[in-house]
Structure 1
Amino acid sequence: MAFSGALTLTDLNDFISPSQACIKPVEQTNKAPEKQLGAASTEIHIDSSGSYYEVAADGPSLQPTKKLEQAQISLNDCLACSGCITSAESVLITLQSHVEVLTFLESNASTSDPKLPAISIAPQSLASLAASVSSRTGVPTTPRQILRRVRVFCESVLGVPHVFDTTFARHLALQEHVQEFDERRSQGESSTALPMLASACPGWICYAEKAHAEILPFIARTKSPQQVMGTLVKNWMGQIWGKLPHEIYHVVVMPCYDKKLEASRSDFYNSVYSTRDVDCVITTGELELILKEKGWDLSSPVAGELDELPLPDLSQKPPSISASTLPELITHPGTSSGSYLHSIISHMTTTSPTPLVLSVKVMRNSDYEEYVLRRENDQVEVFKGAKCYGFRNLQNVVRKVGRERGVRVGSGAAGRLAGRAVVRRGKKPGDVPERGYDYVEVMACPGGCVNGGGQLKPLTTSVDAEGYARDWEETGVMQNAKWGDKEWTKRPDQADRLREWILDDLCPTDEGLGDVDVHAENEACRTRLFRTNYRAVESDIIGLAVKW
């Protein structure tokens, strides 16, 4: 991942200071000619209008000779998307790459005490690879076929015996997400309970911690599927494999560069065993680089790639954890960014004592939509949510939430509550009060996770308003995509049983606890396993105004 040349590393843990308008001064599009002996040196001068000129430094007069092109830093240059990338973060991203993975695997094979490698792949990455192969070959290829082919490659070429997708971890994250929403809703109209904002996007979390700390109380504490998968691999699967957390090397393939920052958070570091839940994150593009470097053609079929894997047998414990033990590619109807909003809507609909009707309203664009549930009999609103993708929409939603909850936004870590929240307000006396948001699914990338910066570049692209190269047709298809094992989704009791089994293995039981409240102990353990925390990040940059 290459940063803008104007962003220079200084001391670790400090903010890199960009220029006033967050632009790099000049961009050289052509290779500079070789300097000839005796030739005059040049300088860059700025005129009164702010334009940059290359001029001769030792001539009789410093007259402009060449106007240099000015280039803005786009969201692709700024991973945190908040104008305050830290040098420590850039170092962390540099350390997490496909080169690092290949180097580890090579050295691990020759050591006397090797670690057990495992790879988990996000469904968005599988979909991106499948779309690329389908476009290149003209043969429709499914994410399941890609998963099977990558699994064979990892086992036979890289020597990685365990390859999973992350949809079961997403299933657990969605269940925990819904439970947290119920907990917040039960608190009533608390100033920090609702609306609950999604927490799975690390770009959004990074932005909120640095620019809108006053919004942090509203963000869900549920871990992302990536980090839930890290917990499963290092703790639950590790127990069955007979390995301690530090004896496992866990690699995750994600559609987003910000996931590298997420895996490096101190909250996901096990100080007892000195290891992280996710050791290394690589993007979809980096996985493709590994495949190309090893000469593996992902368009070539492998044996059994269309076979239905048997469902896990939960009648016996412990099982032998293999690719067929965890459910493969579980379907979650909704958006391709995780289906968080749709899971809560489904939960509200199925648990309501009266029938509910859902209405959807497109706001500014397809990346900003409102979802309202009303009672069928009297049309009273019982839930109002939103899907918000991209930073232009995101900032509008942040301001809207601030107004509705009485929170002063825009002051970063200095933000504070401005009084008791008002969530329902009428425009005029006698008008029906407008309901504030109960939940918002927030993603930093326009188009959501399937359009993450680490995804493969489509064959035909256009550039959106925020500078992203996007395949709009592909994105539109992927927005409504559903990945999953139909046979598994017909038996949801299996997923619930497996979740209880995992919690039973990882959390305390009544054995040897005496008078201890087992339920409270298990709830505390579940919270520790599946939830996290956030904190405000102070910046010493003053007066930086970043416009998106």
Structure 2
Amino acid sequence: MSAILSADDLNDFISPGVACIKPVETLPKQAPKEINAYEVTTEDKIHKENAPPAQISLTDCLACSGCVTSAEAVLVSLQSHAEVLNALDSQLSFDPVDLHGNDGSHQADKKLFIASVSPQVRASLAATYGVSESETGCMLDQLLGGPQGLKSGGRYGNGFTWIVDTNAMREASLVLGADEVIESLLTPDTQGCSSNASPKRPILSSACPGWICYAEKTHPHVLPHLSRLKSPQALTGTLLKTVLSRRLNIRPDQIWHVSIMPCFDKKLEASREELTDIYWRSQPADLPSVQPVRDVDCVITAREVIMLADTRGISFPNLPRQPLASQLAFPDPTLSAFLFPKPRSPRSRVQSPEAGTSGGYLYHILQTQLSLHPNSTLISTRGRNADVVEYTITSPTSPSPIFKAARYYGFRNIQNLVRKLKPVKKSRLPGARSSAAKTGAGMDYAYVEVMACPGGCTNGGGQIKVDDVPLKPETALSQKEWLARIDEAYFSMEDDSEDDHERDTAMTDDNSSDPGDLINGISPSYVKGILEHWSASTGIELQKLVTTSYRKVESDVGKVGGGENERVVELAGKIGGGW
């Protein structure tokens, strides 16, 4: 729930004072203390006027029932560019020779540093420096793993061994999401909300952590509708830690993974207990005293990438715009071809503007449904604003729509969505008529793509803002024009026909898929083959690797015996106003 939501539309911003501390007015009032004019007061009895800043962890924030926006100002210091530099300077990294030996168990004091980057971040940096998205990807690779980047300084000269594009696991999310919807359409909609149950219709996307936090804390009635699939960030973290720990024979806590995302709330997602190794370890009872290891250790944003370079004295725009001269081979050749398609740049297919700026979950599901219903037609209808769009698939052979879905971006629209999903309360008055007919009207969707930020993920709170860019007065841009420039960079990701040919040929040679089964430029059979290989090579059930769970979260703020009221009030005063 990033603060950029408040930049253009205050009505779309959840007040941190009300949402986070729930609110201050509900806290028990302190009884006035009687003052004895004749009492001698010593120094230790004087109440401190300036108490030390409140310290809370990411887990503490997720335990509250309010909006997390107001906590971002505190939490950002716990996952920041400074934390990345501290990690790099804390321990020696594995030598390439050690990793080629496929056994790092004899070097328990070393770490393996890996990074993953989202396409929205590359688009933000590309718009900032006036370069192409592919050139930005090369510059990021040079910063994170090149000789002129982070390796040029620091205590040990450490850098990141592998830099992964999250678009690879985004493809996995899209294929799995389409299958999840198909399964829900073939299954009676009577599931419960247990972690193993399939979501109820309409299935609501779960890749946006701001939306998930909001649902868990304020609208638990929508939890049974949430997609059980992990986000691309979480999937990437799980894949890297499971595969590398087993292939290299090292502990998961020896792998340090930083994710570069457009959103501050991704820091909150990385802190979730459900996204740690205890949920995929084969035998968690073996190490009962070991602390859970996060699949993603740290998350930084586009703005923090610039801070990361500046702190090391590196000029980001002057970094080489060519791919790294060499990169260590990933220990699993099959997964290497999936994570690092050749040629390395460009690393992603062209994004259709119709897919939106948040990964194209709904778009891929619609394309999948169109492929299943030949001669069908897709009709889109704009809602009350540009961030609400309804999609209907019709067929000449069917009098009624065969598939309906929608897109809801921004909290102003999300509130309308969850209101429609709210269960009806039965009236206690005798003879009262039920309002069930009115509640949920128009909610015959099979799927809804929900994102917290108006305009989608390119508008994330961690993206570089127009005010951060030094522009001449005659070239000054409004925030809307600036976002349009970022979107243009996002949708201009180059496509390489030779790359497509090489990839299709590789898929055919591996007998993993038929190049003719492409949907939205993605081969579902190829992706499913990769996922099956991942599960088989790690010995972990695929369901445990790709799914997660959600839970209703309640706060003890203001309750008898719960929380430190004085500390909560102080925290609210210090961070009120958001990031």
Same fold per superposition (TM over 0.5): yes
Cα distance in 2 between the residues matched to 1:538 and 1:206: 12
Kept in 2: contact 1:369–1:386 (CA 8 A): yes
Q: Does 1:145 align with 2:135?
A: yes
Deviations 1:52-96 (A, max 9, x none): xxxxxxxxxxxxxxxxxxxxxxxxxx9999844499987654311
Given candidates 446, 452, 463, the residue that maps to 2:460 is 452
Structure-2 change in CA distance of 1:542 and 1:481 (3 Å): farther
Q: Does 1:329 align with 2:348?
A: yes
Structure-2 change in CA distance of 1:89 and 1:187 (3 Å): farther
Cα distance in 1 between the residues matched to 2:439 and 2:392: 15
The residue correspondences of 1:283-298 to structure 2 (distance < 5 A) are 283-298=301-316
Given candidates 212, 217, 223, the residue that maps to 1:205 is 212
More strand by share: 1
Match of 1:500 in 2: 529
Match of 1:466 in 2: none
Cα distance in 2 between the residues matched to 1:21 and 1:285: 36
RMSD between aligned alpha carbons?
A: 4.4
Shift of 1:203: 0.3
Kept in 1: contact 2:205–2:227 (CA 8 A): yes
Match of 2:21 in 1: 16
Structure-2 change in CA distance of 1:356 and 1:124 (3 Å): same
Kept in 2: contact 1:336–1:482 (CA 8 A): no
Shift of 1:20: 5.3
Given candidates 354, 360, 363, the residue that maps to 1:339 is 360
Match of 1:116 in 2: 112
Q: Does 1:439 align with 2:447?
A: yes
Cα distance in 1 between the residues matched to 2:188 and 2:121: 39
Match of 2:572 in 1: none
Q: Secondary structure at the match of 1:108?
A: coil
Cα distance in 2 between the residues matched to 1:477 and 1:195: 31
The residue correspondences of 1:344-363 to structure 2 (distance < 5 A) are 344-352=365-373, 354-363=374-383
Q: Secondary structure at the match of 2:115?
A: strand
Q: Does 1:300 align with 2:318?
A: yes
Cα distance in 1 between the residues matched to 2:276 and 2:440: 44
Match of 1:281 in 2: 299
Match of 1:172 in 2: 172
Q: Secondary structure at the match of 1:538?
A: coil
Q: Secondary structure at the match of 1:118?
A: strand
More helix by share: 2
Match of 1:32 in 2: none
Kept in 1: contact 2:64–2:217 (CA 8 A): no
Cα distance in 2 between the residues matched to 1:393 and 1:81: 23
Shift of 1:360: 1.0
Kept in 2: contact 1:251–1:278 (CA 8 A): yes
Structure-2 change in CA distance of 1:121 and 1:20 (3 Å): same
Q: More deviation in 498-507 or 277-286?
A: 498-507
Match of 1:374 in 2: 394
Shift of 1:235: 1.1
Q: Secondary structure at the match of 1:370?
A: strand
Q: Does 1:249 align with 2:256?
A: yes
Kept in 1: contact 2:135–2:322 (CA 8 A): no
Structure-2 change in CA distance of 1:132 and 1:481 (3 Å): same
1:363 partner amino acid: G
Cα distance in 2 between the residues matched to 1:237 and 1:227: 15
Kept in 1: contact 2:379–2:391 (CA 8 A): yes
The residue correspondences of 1:361-510 to structure 2 (distance < 5 A) are 361-378=381-398, 380-402=400-422, 406=423, 436-458=444-466, 459=469, 460=476, 462=478, 471-474=482-485, 477=488, 486-489=497-500, 491=503, 493=507, 496-497=525-526, 499-507=528-536
Q: Does 1:161 align with 2:161?
A: yes
Shift of 1:21: 11
1:533 partner amino acid: S
Structure-2 change in CA distance of 1:83 and 1:326 (3 Å): farther
Structure-2 change in CA distance of 1:17 and 1:475 (3 Å): same
Cα distance in 2 between the residues matched to 1:301 and 1:99: 21
Structure-2 change in CA distance of 1:393 and 1:17 (3 Å): closer
Shift of 1:503: 2.7
1:444 partner amino acid: A
Q: Secondary structure at the match of 1:447?
A: coil
Match of 1:31 in 2: none
Q: Secondary structure at the match of 2:296?
A: coil
Shift of 1:401: 3.3
Shift of 1:542: 8.1
Cα distance in 1 between the residues matched to 2:64 and 2:343: 35
2:316 partner amino acid: L
Kept in 2: contact 1:255–1:453 (CA 8 A): yes
Task: Return 5+ residue gaps in structure 2 as ranges.
Answer: 4-14, 28-60, 95-106, 151-158, 192-198, 279-283, 285-289, 427-432, 470-475, 508-512, 514-522, 560-579
Q: Secondary structure at the match of 2:236?
A: helix
1:337 partner amino acid: S
Q: Secondary structure at the match of 2:89?
A: helix
Cα distance in 1 between the residues matched to 2:64 and 2:201: 25
Cα distance in 1 between the residues matched to 2:461 and 2:556: 28
Kept in 2: contact 1:369–1:388 (CA 8 A): yes
Kept in 2: contact 1:16–1:85 (CA 8 A): no
Cα distance in 2 between the residues matched to 1:237 and 1:144: 27
Shift of 1:181: 1.2
1:125 partner amino acid: V
Deviations 1:181-208 (A, max 9, x none): 1121111344762100000000000000
1:368 partner amino acid: V
Q: Does 1:526 align with 2:542?
A: yes
Deviations 1:356-411 (A, max 9, x none): 11111111211111111111455631111111110001111222333xxx5569xx
Q: More deviation in 318-327 or 252-261?
A: 318-327
Shift of 1:240: 3.6
Cα distance in 1 between the residues matched to 2:83 and 2:255: 16
Q: More deviation in 379-388 or 115-124?
A: 379-388
Cα distance in 2 between the residues matched to 1:396 and 1:229: 32
Cα distance in 2 between the residues matched to 1:450 and 1:80: 28
Kept in 1: contact 2:357–2:455 (CA 8 A): no
Cα distance in 1 between the residues matched to 2:323 and 2:316: 12
Structure-2 change in CA distance of 1:329 and 1:534 (3 Å): same
Structure-2 change in CA distance of 1:110 and 1:150 (3 Å): closer
Structure-2 change in CA distance of 1:246 and 1:357 (3 Å): same
Cα distance in 2 between the residues matched to 1:250 and 1:313: 17
Shift of 1:478: 6.0
Cα distance in 2 between the residues matched to 1:390 and 1:285: 22
Kept in 1: contact 2:376–2:393 (CA 8 A): yes
Kept in 1: contact 2:119–2:167 (CA 8 A): yes
Cα distance in 2 between the residues matched to 1:258 and 1:109: 30
Match of 2:201 in 1: 194
Task: Return 5+ residue gaps in structure 1 as ranges.
Answer: 9-13, 23-77, 135-140, 410-417, 427-433, 464-468, 510-521, 544-548
Kept in 1: contact 2:168–2:338 (CA 8 A): no
Q: Secondary structure at the match of 2:318?
A: coil
